[in-house]
Structure 1
């Protein structure tokens, strides 16, 4: 049974935990997300040695899959990275054949970046490998834990939306 607030209402406690609990929740969530990302990345490289894309490049491919063509400055703003950083990453991705740079159709003076077929294929392979790995890990959990993870997903997406704003 959850602790009751000073007013005696469980709803008050659930809606606004004390600040100390907020800090602990944030710390534990940070630790969980960090461990999940590290474990997933390490297991993918063990199971799928071809997967060597840096996460920053994967994230740019994901953005380009949703918003293409895009200017370097727009990609930098969306990813909250320096334009020079994104420009360097895009240069590496052009060399690898994952993206192409062309004249921006909206402004012929500027260039825009698009995914190539190879970039789409690499992103799809990356997503499939991660989904297979996570599916196997979820399958190792008992049904109660899988249900908890499933129930938490909508709140995690809302949390991500709050972080994006």
Structure 2
């Protein structure tokens, strides 16, 4: 293994080790700062997806955008509808067709989550040395590209698995 491969492997290992705990720490800080409800991350992601679709989404489309199983979306929607976070609207001409939208309550919660999350990250970042803040800022475009690459690779694997009758495909 050459040093470039070793460096790539080390960076991948460290990213994998840090991203989950960082995401959870920011979520905890966000909830604590604003006294926000303990919504599971999966619910927050579904709310973000629905909020980004002004006309709402069919459950299957929401599942596709989140890259999770439709049954997972159904379970999330059941819980979130009961909590007043998701609204289900039947199509006027086909009652089997449902559109999901984020409720006003959910949109307000998301705005509070985003505001508190930004504040928590800004406060923590302010305690870092200027060089670390500059390094983080410079890394943003690379992290965006990494996200797009991982999503593209995941889509390619999913299409390949679907073409093989679903063998090896993950449900979510």
Is 2:113 the counterpart of 1:126? Answer: yes
TM-score of the superposed pair, with normalisation by structure 2: 0.79
Q: For the Cα contact (< 8 Å) 1:71–1:104, is it kept in 2?
A: no
Equivalent residue in structure 2 for 1:86, among 56, 73, 80: 73
Unaligned runs of 5+ in 2: 153-172
1:52 alignment partner in structure 2: 38
TM-score of the superposed pair, with normalisation by structure 1: 0.82
Is 2:25 the counterpart of 1:39? Answer: yes
Classify 1:108/1:20 alpha carbon distance in 2 versus 1 (closer, same or farther; 3 Å): same
Q: For the Cα contact (< 8 Å) 1:51–1:126, is it kept in 2?
A: no
Q: Secondary structure of the residue that 2:137 maps to in structure 1? A: helix
Q: Secondary structure of the residue that 2:106 maps to in structure 1? A: helix
Classify 1:105/1:21 alpha carbon distance in 2 versus 1 (closer, same or farther; 3 Å): farther
- Higher-Rg member (1/2): 1
Q: For the Cα contact (< 8 Å) 1:103–1:112, is it kept in 2?
A: yes
2:88 alignment partner in structure 1: 101
Question: How many residues are paired up?
Answer: 150
State how far apart, in whole Å, the 2-side matches of 1:19 and 1:102 are.
51
Q: Secondary structure of the residue that 1:114 maps to in structure 2? A: strand
State how far apart, in whole Å, the 2-side matches of 1:78 and 1:57 are.
14
Q: For the Cα contact (< 8 Å) 2:47–2:102, is it kept in 1?
A: yes
Unaligned runs of 5+ in 1: 1-5, 7-16
Classify 1:107/1:30 alpha carbon distance in 2 versus 1 (closer, same or farther; 3 Å): farther
Equivalent residue in structure 1 for 2:48, among 62, 70, 73: 62
What is the root-mean-square deviation of aligned Cα atoms in Å? 2.1
Of structures 1 and 2, the one scoring higher in RCO (CA 8 A, sep 6+) is 2
